[in-house]
Structure 1
Amino acid sequence: MALKKHPYLLALMLLAGALLASCSAPKIVEQDYDRVTLFKITADNKHEKIATLTDKKKIKELTDLINEGNRKNAREIEFEKGPDGMLLFEKNEKKLALGLFIDTGNVLTEEYYINSSIDINKYFGTKQ
């Protein structure tokens, strides 16, 4: 009954719920990595090393772009062709490989297509 008298209260509750739900998405890149290597995937499915990023500030920015990017269920999307690159995050023995569409800067995991819009030139000093 109180919600009928105070529609702004209902709107506030819905907004708070939406914000909490958006914050609960699991992180894709969970660890503080030391380096990130960009590989280009060639036509014969080989991985050609392009550049390595070791700047901690830029690695953090890159991680944030991936973790905060808009996600879509990868299993519901049909791709004409797969990622043409890969980002390899490394720290000691810990490694994380993510598919990368170099032209858009978007990332593909087993679960998600992430609109991360990574500027390859900004982070790796190269344009592919």
Structure 2
Amino acid sequence: MKHRFYLLLMTVMALISAAFLYHYLNKPIKAKDFTQMSIYLTSDQEVPYVISDKKVINEVIKKINSSPKEDISKIIFEHGPDGRIIFKGNTTIYEVKVFSYGGNVVTEKYYIHSNLFNDLIEIFGKL
């Protein structure tokens, strides 16, 4: 009986660890030390909107990481992204492409249904 309990406990721990690892590895943006976020839209002649509020940056990263994703290799775009978001930290820089007409994000691996710009409007409304 004691042996079965330990076996069950080890199995549950292994499953929890695997789920945590899978979730962490599938996050498009893994770093958390970003201090600046610059939003470039092609229609704005490359003049960025610069955000340095860490709370807002973390909210945007959380939204991107938690939104539904599709494998980018399975999608054919009629028009490509027309903007980009650059996250800058002390030692890291990470860039994603963005569609301004919906705010969905493109990374190296994923097309992310984030509806980001509507959420940015809500976030700025809270500040």
TM (norm. structure 1) is 0.70
Given the superposition, is the C-alpha separation of residues 96 and 24 from structure 1 closer, same or farther in structure 2, using an over 3 Å criterion? closer
Q: Provide the residue aligned with 2:4 in structure 1.
A: none
Does the 8 A contact of 1:85 with 1:99 survive in 2? yes
Determine whether 1:70 maps to 2:68: yes
Q: Report the Cα distance in structure 2 between the residues aligned to 1:124 and 1:35, rounded to whole angstroms.
A: 15
TM (norm. structure 2) is 0.71
Which residue of the other structure, out of 38, 52, 55, is the alignment partner of 1:54? 52
Given the superposition, is the C-alpha separation of residues 23 and 30 from structure 1 closer, same or farther in structure 2, using an over 3 Å criterion? closer
Q: Percent identity?
A: 30
Deviation at 1:94, TM superposition (A): 1.6
Deviation at 1:76, TM superposition (A): 0.6
Deviation at 1:26, TM superposition (A): 2.0
Determine whether 1:27 maps to 2:11: no
Q: Report the Cα distance in structure 2 between the residues aligned to 1:83 and 1:63, rounded to whole angstroms.
A: 18
Higher strand share: 1
Higher helix share: 2
Superposition RMSD in Å = 2.7
Deviation at 1:124, TM superposition (A): 7.0
Q: Report the Cα distance in structure 2 between the residues aligned to 1:24 and 1:91, rounded to whole angstroms.
A: 20
Q: Report the Cα distance in structure 2 between the residues aligned to 1:28 and 1:113, rounded to whole angstroms.
A: 10
Deviation at 1:25, TM superposition (A): 4.7
Q: Report the Cα distance in structure 2 between the residues aligned to 1:67 and 1:104, rounded to whole angstroms.
A: 17
Q: Secondary structure at the match of 1:81?
A: coil
Given the superposition, is the C-alpha separation of residues 111 and 60 from structure 1 closer, same or farther in structure 2, using an over 3 Å criterion? same
Q: Report the Cα distance in structure 1 between the residues aligned to 2:113 and 2:26, rounded to whole angstroms.
A: 15
Does the 8 A contact of 1:84 with 1:102 survive in 2? yes
Deviations 1:40-82 (A, max 9, x none): 125xxx9602311111111111000111110001111110110
Q: Report the Cα distance in structure 2 between the residues aligned to 1:124 and 1:102, rounded to whole angstroms.
A: 17
Determine whether 1:117 maps to 2:115: yes
Q: Provide the residue aligned with 1:96 in structure 2.
A: 94
Give the letter for the 2:29 counterpart.
V
Does the 8 A contact of 1:72 with 1:114 survive in 2? yes
